[in-house]
Amino acid sequence: MTQVFKGHAGIGDEVTGEALVASDNFSARYDLDRIKGVFSRPQHKLYGQSYDGKILILNAAKGGVASAWMLQEMVSRGVTPKALILNFANPIMAQGAAFANLAMIDRFDIDITTAIPSGARVTVVPAKGEIRLLD
């Protein structure tokens, strides 16, 4: 049976893909090599891993304001996560997702980083604020 996790209604279109999960935070400027599409901050739990084409599931938005432009820039170059799922977004991530029309949901009733394992296939339904665990 498909498990469904509920968050706040989000931004963007429905997408399906492989989850990349860590109990760590997220900033496009601080954490990523956006040309190579990998996490580049040595202290990040996903250091060295590719986020391209993944449903990225992390704890909270951190860091500066650059992510608001950078999400759209990542989408335009085609090296981008399919969706960004956070326990807590901040305005910058929401503004960036709205500008880029990147799927994003936050504010779940559980810790979403412990509910979904890395590698699982999930469907993200922003209009309903739902993540469906398919495997």
Partner 1 sequence: MRLNDYEQEMLAGEHGAAKKYGMEQVVRVGTFFDAPDTVEVAQVHLMADPESLGSSGVEFLEGLAALPKAERTVVVPAVTDPRGVDLAAYQRLGQTEGMADLERRATAAFRALGFMMTDTCINYQTICPPVLGEHVAFGDTGSSIYANSVQGARTNFEGGPSALAAALTGRAPRYGFHLDAVRRGSCVFEVDFRPKDLSDWGALGAYVGRKMASYWEVPVITGFDDAPTSDELKQFGAALASFGSTPLFHMIGITPEAPTLAAVFDAVVPKAEKIGKLEVDALIQSYMPSDDKLDVVVFAGPQLSLMEMQTLAGLMQDRHIHKDVALIATTSPEIKYACDRMGLTETIEGAGGMVLSGVCFYQMYAREIGEANGWKRLMSNSAKLVNILGGYGYEPVLATMEACVDSAVQGRISEAAQ
Contact residues toward partner 1 (CB under 8 A) are 8-11, 25, 27, 29-33, 40-44, 60-70, 72-73, 76-77, 87-92, 94-96, 98-99
Residue placing its CB nearer to partner 1 in the complex, 77 or 121? 77
Q: How far is the CB of 116 from partner 1 (least distance, A)?
A: 19
Q: How far is the CB of 52 from partner 1 (least distance, A)?
A: 16
Residue placing its CB nearer to partner 1 in the complex, 17 or 63? 63
User: Among 99, 107, 101, 123, which Cα is nearest to 14's?
Assistant: 123
Residue placing its CB nearer to partner 1 in the complex, 3 or 76? 76
Q: How far is the CB of 134 from partner 1 (least distance, A)?
A: 25
How many other β-carbons are positioned within 10 Å of the β-carbon of residue 45?
Answer: 15
